[in-house]
Amino acid sequence: MAENLLNSMINKINQITTSLDGTIAQITQMSTAIQNMSQRFSEETISVNENIRLIVEVLKQFRMKSTENLQEISDDFNAKIKELYEKKSIELITEEEKKAIEVIKQASKAVSNNLYYAQLLNIIQSIREETNRIISSKDQ
């Protein structure tokens, strides 16, 4: 009888462990997805800033070179656009972008912690229920 209860308890603990492993895998996957999303967000923001900077620079040069013929201006504009696509140079991330990335990381960590604590509470509750069942079955 006690051996059956022990085996049952071991099976329940194994099931809980398997469930916890799945939850940990999901949390890890979520964390990776959030990090990837954060990285893409940063890259796209930097790319947009660089594009705007280059467009503004081209417009300034266009205004300064208004006396030149249209073909020369067109060639210059095309060269700047080609340079943008070839180099894809990335400037340093601004402080605001760093703060936004940090907020996203903190939110991800908070979500992970909450899921972890919820899973721990679930495990404790399951162990408590099993212990109560064992105690009540011994009393009967």
List pLDDT tens digits, range 91-111: 444 666 777 777 777 777 777
Total number of domains in the chain: 1
Residue 124 to residues 73, 82, 119, 128, Cα–Cα distance (Å): 72, 61, 9, 6
Q: How far apart are CA 9 and CA 134, in angstroms?
A: 9
What does pTM read for this prediction?
0.35
Q: How far apart are CA 32 and CA 30, in angstroms?
A: 5
**Closest to 38 measured CA to CA, from 102, 114, 115:** 102
Kindly state the percentage of the chain with pLDDT values over 90. 3
Q: Would residue 1 count as lying in a domain?
A: no
Q: Would residue 5 count as lying in a domain?
A: no
Confidence of residue 29 (pLDDT cuts 50, 70, 90): very high
What is the span of the domain harbouring residue 112?
A: 28-139
Q: Would residue 18 count as lying in a domain?
A: no
Residue 104 φ then ψ, to 5°: -65, -45
